[in-house]
Amino acid sequence: MARSHAEWKQLAAELKIEGRAFINGEYRDAAEGKRFDCVNPANGAKLAEIAHCGEAEVEAAVKAARRAFESGVWSELAPLKRAAVLKRFAALIREHADELSLLETLDVGKPIGDTTAVDVPASAYCVEWFAEAIDKVGGEVVPVDPKLVGLVTREPIGVVAAVVPWNFPILMASWKFGPALAAGNAVIVKPSEKSPLTAIRIAALAKQAGIPDGIFQVLPGAGDVGRLLALHMDVDCVAFTGSTNVGKLIAGYAAQSNLKRAWLELGGKSPNIILPDCPDLARAARAAASGIFYNMGEVCTAGSRVLVHKDIKERFLEEFKKAAAGFFPGDPLDPATSMGAIVDDIQYRKVLNYIDKGLSEGANLLLGGKAVHTDKGLFIEPTAFDCPSDDLTICREEIFGPVLSVITFSELDDAIRIANDTSYGLAAAVWTSNVSTAHQVSRRLRAGTVWVNCYDEGGDMNFPFGGYKQSGNGRDKSLHALEKYTELKSTLIKL
């Protein structure tokens, strides 16, 4: 049953928030009681004090994870039994959906309509999907000399550290721990210090579901925790989602230590190409607005560059402005709100600085461009620029906020060149009525996901997610994600 604005506010007032780390099956404070404040970006209110983990907690968690993994209590559990536990975990996430949605909304400023409809349900679905996959993925019997039996099997990699971002805290975490747990690993989740609440809460749900102590742990804290996990000689794999700059550091730490597997899902500057034979300009404009303003633009696949053909530019911009009018910041606890708050003051200032940069470099402001002044809230208007060239800073760098760059082109080859002229390669889109053009353009775009006549569609788990170039390596989602958390073993038996 849908709740009203008043009901969500009442629930928020009554909410009890857990802020301790979860290590070896129990909540505990950090050494010496170190804590940091968790603040609601929509109003500046302090939500909770969170355990500030450090070296002592990392050592305790890794030791517990190694012990639990080596015991076989999870890694050697029959696939059907492991699947049953993960299905219970997914069911508990659904059972506590309102609480988790509320935690997510308060923690990072997301609209409650989004967390209830997308973030939490999609997280439960992810865990359930990988639970269903556990007993569907087998090995190989290799054709060899008849005097031999040759087997190829996949085994869990061991202790997995999942360092996850603040823009989709519970969802991005589930994309890591879902397949990692399904494969039989022990997992340590390090949530962003900007968004620790849902990860901390679901740790108790994991235990309630039957996941053994030491197999699922959560270490809130600053960047040092991620660095210590990536450097740790007894961590076998680090999976990271976040900025490209930090991803490079994580890869370096992995290389400096035990050459642990390092899987990186990083930044993007995704192009959304509107060709003159676009089948529905109004729909393309609505998709473009949603592609950059959804989740306040704090999305790695955000369609932050719209490349529009000169012949249809004016008509497109008219439709885009109409669509953008449907996005305006408001109280995240109001189900009618379409845009929430920017996650924290650091990101807020960063986005405003990029807007100033666009103006100073000669971009034409089409809409927005200002902070929305509320009582201590961090809100920014949906913003779009018409850019005289693709060399402007706002056209080149990932802003991670509600700021769109519109770039004009006259020839298809120019559009492809501009689209690919970036260090990133996470996602892209093309709008055309010609199926041959759609195939040709999608092949030429250097991106891990290409949408045709839509943007950011396909929320199911069957599609691998990840990017080319400096958008990272490896893939989240799909059966390909299971591969990341396993090692291949060849076994030859002489008869």
What pLDDT, on a 0 to 100 scale, did the predictor assign at position 435? 97
Overall average pLDDT of the 316-323 stretch? 98
What pLDDT, on a 0 to 100 scale, did the predictor assign at position 2? 87
Q: Given pLDDT bands bounded at 50, 70 and 90, which one contains residue 376?
A: confident
- Are 266 and 475 in contact by the 8 Å Cβ rule? The answer is no
What pLDDT, on a 0 to 100 scale, did the predictor assign at position 263? 98
Q: Given pLDDT bands bounded at 50, 70 and 90, which one contains residue 62?
A: very high
What pLDDT, on a 0 to 100 scale, did the predictor assign at position 16? 96
Q: Given pLDDT bands bounded at 50, 70 and 90, which one contains residue 43?
A: very high
* DSSP string computed for 205-236: HHHHHTPPTTTEEE----HHHHHHHHH-TT--
Overall average pLDDT of the 43-59 stretch? 97
Overall average pLDDT of the 122-139 stretch? 96
pLDDT of residue 32 exceeding 90, the answer is no
pLDDT of residue 123 exceeding 90, the answer is yes
Within a 13 Å sphere around the CA of 189, how many CA atoms are in the beta-carbon half?
Answer: 34
For CATH 3.40.605.10, list the domain ranges present in the chain. Answer: 5-266
DSSP character at residue 29: P
How far is CA 444 from its chain centroid? 26
What pLDDT, on a 0 to 100 scale, did the predictor assign at position 198? 98
CATH (residue range 271-452): 3.40.309.10
Percent of the chain beyond pLDDT 70? 99
pLDDT of residue 375 exceeding 80, the answer is no
Short-list 238, 242, 243, 203, CA closest to 220: 203
Amino acid, res. 212: P
Q: Which burial class, exposed, middle or buried, applies to 155 when counting CB atoms under 10 A from its CB (0-12, 13-18, 19+)?
A: middle
pLDDT of residue 374 exceeding 90, the answer is no
The residues facing 371 across adjacent strands are 380
For CATH 3.40.309.10, list the domain ranges present in the chain. Answer: 271-452
Q: Given pLDDT bands bounded at 50, 70 and 90, which one contains residue 255?
A: very high
Q: Given pLDDT bands bounded at 50, 70 and 90, which one contains residue 272?
A: very high
pLDDT of residue 163 exceeding 90, the answer is yes
Overall average pLDDT of the 342-360 stretch? 97
pLDDT of residue 212 exceeding 90, the answer is yes
- Are 156 and 183 in contact by the 8 Å Cβ rule? The answer is yes
Cα separation, 330 vs 341, whole angstroms: 8
Q: What are the tens digits of pLDDT across the range 195-205? A: 999 999 999 99
- Are 430 and 444 in contact by the 8 Å Cβ rule? The answer is no
Percent of the chain beyond pLDDT 90? 97
Overall average pLDDT of the 388-406 stretch? 98
Domain 5-266 annotated CATH 3.40.605.10: yes
The residues, any chain, with a CB within 8 Å of residue 385's CB and separated by 6 or more, are 358, 363, 364, 365, 366, 392, 394, 403, 404, 405, 406
Overall average pLDDT of the 444-468 stretch? 95
φ/ψ of residue 355, rounded to 5: -60, -45
Active site amino acids:
265
Supply the mean pLDDT for the chain: 97
